[in-house]
A and B are shown apart, each in its own frame.
Chain A
Amino acid sequence: MPEKISIRIDGEYVAAQEGQTILEVARASGKYIPTLCWLESITPVGACRLCIVEVSGVNRLLPACTTPVQDGMSVTTHSEKLAAYRRIALEFLFTERNHQCAVCVSNNHCELQAMAQRLGVNSVRYAYTFPKLPVDVSHERFVLDHNRCILCTRCVRVCAEVEGAHVWDLSSRGIRSMVICDMSKPWGESRNCTNCGKCVQVCPTGALAEKGFAVEEMVKRDAKVTRLASRRGGHQ
């Protein structure tokens, strides 16, 4: 049995188990910490940095999704600084690629859009990049629109960890990073893809979608995938 410990989140004492992450404990006790790349029962990667929290005695900000709790830890999940940094992270995502929410299949069902609303991001202070990016429509049933991708790698992890196909990965680096299929093939030509659609269901934006949907029509069902993942014992 993992040892039971106690930590404080925003001043409130909560019970936790050794080995849990700050995020898991916070969620279990109904505390909200914003996340985008995190997905229940899938290996956390700490990429989006929205879940950064302050831990007293630590002079760095820590990602809640990958930081294990320690007995007596005191965590602050909301502060002026955290709000400012989370805002910048979201602004970065909106400027990095082309997110025209109004004409997106995932409009009103998008986690990025909802997060901006929740965190009060009404405008973006940084210049938009407006990159030219491809849309892969080669798959029979699905579409990959790089314009909407936020590189959270949920698709990569779900495909590798739950479906076991490892179709997706990242190519290149830095600002040129791209999600690729197999060894950079059109999706329709992938020999590993099982057409299961899990990647589509967990994609937080309209980057991965089913064909045949118009604006606002693509509703994702990631709960089915995470339930499956947790039954397989999650990432442990």
Chain B
Amino acid sequence: MKKTRLATVWLDGCAGCHMSILDIDEAILNVAARADVVYGPLVDAQEFPKAVDVTIIEGAISSQEDLEKVHAIRKRSKLIVSLGDCAVTANVPGMRNNIPPRKLLERIYIEGAQENKVIPSEGVPALLRQAVPVHQVVKVDLHVPGCPPPASAIAFVLGELLEGRVPNLTAKVKFG
């Protein structure tokens, strides 16, 4: 049987969701047996590959880079899963949304800095006006909220997806 091409993406989030993926104990063996992880923070690939079956996204869309990335990902993925509150609701990254980015950066890098008071501009992508959930930018096929989502839910979702089914998550997950 052909292995499922699985990718995970870390956008504006704390990596907690990725840690929870690793937290699914022995279920990870099943995943390893049936899927090739073709992209992710722990994979060496530099560029997001083509023809991915399932892409799991952690984190909100916060920067210009996130925005471009997620459009490319949508084109190359059959199915996208938003994993965790940041991807599903913008959550903590969204708490800055009622402050204009320039003010925010000034507060942190100039008013809040002891020395070297300058807003970094090179090598860092520009912030979007607001951090938004993934599905506000591209179509998302499955939402798994939680901060982080419980490992049992992640194991269930992966198990079902690898079986070719769309998991029914009613009452299994919650925000927060």
Residues of A within 8 A of B170 (CB): 120
Stretch of A102-110, A150-158, A186-194 at the chain-chain interface:
A102-110
**Closest CB of chain B to A126's CB: distance in Å?**
10
Residues of B within 8 A of A113 (CB): 174-176
Stretch of B24-32, B38-46, B51-59, B87-95 at the chain-chain interface:
B87-95
Residues of B within 8 A of A81 (CB): none
Q: Mark A59-95, 1 if CB is under 8 A from B, else 0.
A: 0000000000000000000000000000000000010
Indicate which residue in A94, A122, A130 contacts B98 across the interface (CB closer than 8 Å). A130
How far, in angstroms, from A97 to B26 measured CA to CA in the complex? 40
In the complex, number of A-B residue pairs with CB atoms less than 8 Å apart: 76
Within 8 A of B (CB), among A93-139: 94, 98-104, 107-108, 110, 113-114, 116-118, 120, 122-125, 127-128, 130-132
Q: Across the interface, do A128 and B147 meet the contact criterion of CB distance under 8 Å?
A: no
Q: Across the interface, do B91 and A102 meet the contact criterion of CB distance under 8 Å?
A: yes
Within 8 A of A (CB), among B84-130: 85, 88-92, 94-95, 97-99, 130
How far, in angstroms, from A103 to B89 measured CA to CA in the complex? 13
Q: Across the interface, do A101 and B94 meet the contact criterion of CB distance under 8 Å?
A: no
Residues of B within 8 A of A130 (CB): 94, 97-98, 130
With an 8 A cutoff between CB atoms, is B133 at the interface? yes
Q: Across the interface, do B144 and A122 meet the contact criterion of CB distance under 8 Å?
A: yes
B interface secondary structure, majority: loop
How far, in angstroms, from A117 to B169 measured CA to CA in the complex? 10
Given A102-B147, A122-B88, A122-B145, are A128 and B174 neighbors across the interface (CB < 8 Å)?
A: no
Indicate which residue in B94, B130, B174 contacts A100 across the interface (CB closer than 8 Å). B94
Residues of A within 8 A of B95 (CB): 98, 100, 103
With an 8 A cutoff between CB atoms, is B135 at the interface? yes
Residues of B within 8 A of A124 (CB): 89, 133
Q: Across the interface, do B85 and A101 meet the contact criterion of CB distance under 8 Å?
A: yes
Q: Across the interface, do A107 and B176 meet the contact criterion of CB distance under 8 Å?
A: yes
Residues of B within 8 A of A125 (CB): 135
How far, in angstroms, from A211 to B98 measured CA to CA in the complex? 25
- What are 6 A-B contacts with C-beta separation under 8 Å? A122-B145, A122-B173, A123-B88, A123-B140, A130-B130, A132-B99
Besides A122-B143, A122-B173, A123-B133, 15 new A-B residue pairs in contact (Cβ under 8 A), listed by A number: A98-B94, A98-B95, A99-B175, A100-B92, A101-B85, A101-B174, A101-B175, A102-B92, A116-B175, A118-B171, A123-B89, A124-B89, A127-B132, A127-B136, A128-B132
Closest CB pairs A-B (n = 7) = A101-B176, A102-B147, A123-B143, A130-B97, A132-B98, A120-B170, A117-B174
